[in-house]
Amino acid sequence: MSAADAFYVTTPIYYVNDKPHIGHAYTTISCDVLARFMRLDGKRVMFLTGTDEHGQKVAKSAELKGVDPQAFTDEVSERFRELTGLLNVSNDDFIRTTEPRHREACQALWKTLVDKGEIYLGSYAGWYSVRDEAFYQESELVNGKAPTGAEVEWVEEPSYFFRLSAWGEKLLAHYERNPDAIQPVGRRNEVLSFIRSGLNDLSVSRTTFSWGVPVPGDPAHVMYVWIDALTNYLTAIGYPDTSDERFKTFWPTVHHTVGKDIVRFHAVYWPAFLMAAGLTPPRRVFAHGWWTIEGEKMSKSLGNTVDPHDLVSTYGLDQTRYFLLREVPFGNDGDFSRQAMIGRINNDLANDFGNLVQRVLSMVTKNCAGKVPSPGVDAAMLAQEPLIAEAHNLISRVRPLVTAQAYNKALEEIWATVGAANRYIDREAPWTLRKTDPDAMNRVLYILMETIRHLAIVVQPFLPTSAARILDFLKVDAADRSFTALGTKHALLPGREIGAPQPIFPRIDTTAKTEG
């Protein structure tokens, strides 16, 4: 398979100094939706997530717990691996930066940069934030702290440097040629402004701690966490073997999704490393926003972090997936409130979509002997029905939005068709037609069933478990659930028996106190 038929999507690798929270879930679910969509659309997908396990912050966290850094990372990394199962995430690989394959890839990239004259030995003196694992210029400090609010300390030590200063114009030229390579536009503008302000050579090694990938030929140094961490995207597809089929197929298609706090590392440092090593920069870096909790900044000190396990156990998995991607435009900051989540579940999922499925399939069970009714017209005539035409057109409206990672807009389009189907059933009133015109009732119910089939297929990336249940009710074969099954060719066959419908999205009782 060529790169034209492939798609490579990555989450950032998550730092193992704490347990997973809603922000990690948000990023991972968004990438899972993109990966699932592309698979259903015929792409060969590589979906990568994992954990970032080196650096001074991890070493200090392990020391505070009185354990070896490897034992510490083994324990915390497993929590992130478990998160993928909790969230029903379809990742193809889970990478850890402590793995031998990753050390090999990092050291190979380092040697390539040295051989090309892009790394040199010098000394560093400046402000460093352990929490951010980042160096800051004096001009970037705000009231003596990093722009993120983290404490900084003055560091002086020998260091290897990457010649970042030589790559400013080349980066600007790359982004001029590829205007969509950084999204959303606001993040792109920030990155371009940072590059235009002038780039300084980047410190890429440390000597004050040893928990990291050793610098080849100089083990007194370990690689700076960002050159180490970023290389994971190459490691997982076979680098340093650039003849590996996975590398040749997937690297030209890579799409990174990251939080807005690390866009500089992914859109300035990372493409510069890659171009300096003779590799192509990422196809796209999408930097999403942050979540506040009930209007407050999320923090451990306030005790208001949201555990994904609590969300799933309280509200349901697909309900959690839906809320996180429907509530705010991907790229903007958003506020998590339990009232808003309950509103989405009860209104969008239970009332609109769930009730549509329940009403239609219950009527078929009761009035059509539990079998798909005959529409009474041929496929060409049926395709002229406005609701069927809208259902057939749904994927063409959703595809560009998911591709652009405009998940909330994609869900709005899907729910527009849900709304059209609900208006149709109310207008046509098949419960009345049952007595006055049974053939018309059959046609109306068939049109609604076909619309539900299309909705269930298209919504699979967002609501995989719930969509599968709906398709199971309709007895749609597993082979007929990709996007190629949309349209008339794989339409429901009249006379086929359906399953007994069950409620898909239970309403949340707003009179009872919810736990979370």
Taking alpha carbons only, the member of 41, 45, 102, 114 closest to residue 77 is 102
- Cα dihedral 271→276→278→284 (10° resolution): 10
- For 370-413, the three-class secondary structure string (H helix, E strand, C coil) is CECCCCCCCHHHHHCCHHHHHHHHHHHHHHHHHHCCCHHHHHHH
Type of residue numbered 14: Y
pLDDT at 516: 42
Neighbours of 350 (CB within 10 A): 19
- Separation CA 259–CA 261 (nearest Å): 5
pLDDT at 304: 66
- Separation CA 199–CA 360 (nearest Å): 61
Q: What is the pTM of this model?
A: 0.93
Annotate 290-353 with DSSP letters as a single string.
-EEETTEE--TTTT----HHHHHHHH-HHHHHHHHHHSS-BTB-EEE-HHHHHHIIIIIIIIII
Tokens of 183: 């999204």
- Separation CA 391–CA 375 (nearest Å): 16
Type of residue numbered 218: D
Domains of the chain are 3-289 (3.40.50.620), 347-485 (1.10.730.10)
Checking 107-110 for CB contacts under 8 A at 24+ apart, the result is 107/213, 107/214, 107/216, 108/239, 108/240, 109/227, 109/231, 109/234, 109/239, 109/240, 109/273, 109/277, 110/215, 110/216, 110/223, 110/227
Task: Kindly give the confidence (pLDDT) of every residue in the chain, 516 residues in length, as a single tens digit, with 9 standing for 90 and above.
Answer: 577 899 999 999 998 877 888 999 999 999 999 999 999 999 999 999 999 999 888 888 899 999 999 999 999 999 999 999 999 999 999 999 999 999 999 999 999 999 999 999 998 888 888 888 777 888 889 999 998 888 999 988 899 999 999 999 999 999 999 999 999 999 999 999 999 999 999 999 999 889 999 999 999 999 988 799 999 999 999 999 999 999 999 999 999 999 999 999 999 999 999 999 999 999 999 999 988 888 777 666 566 678 899 999 999 999 999 999 999 889 888 888 999 999 999 999 999 999 999 999 999 999 999 999 999 988 888 888 999 999 999 999 999 999 999 999 999 999 999 999 999 999 999 999 999 999 999 999 999 999 999 999 999 999 999 999 999 999 999 999 999 999 999 999 999 999 989 999 999 988 765 444
The SS3 call for residue 505 is coil
- Separation CA 294–CA 374 (nearest Å): 50
C-beta of residue 240 within 8 angstroms of C-beta of residue 279? no
pLDDT at 302: 63
- Separation CA 387–CA 420 (nearest Å): 7
pLDDT at 57: 85
Taking alpha carbons only, the member of 246, 91, 276, 242 closest to residue 170 is 276
The SS3 call for residue 285 is strand
Helices and strands, number each (H, E), in the chain? 21, 17
Taking alpha carbons only, the member of 401, 506, 377, 398 closest to residue 450 is 377
- Separation CA 314–CA 359 (nearest Å): 26
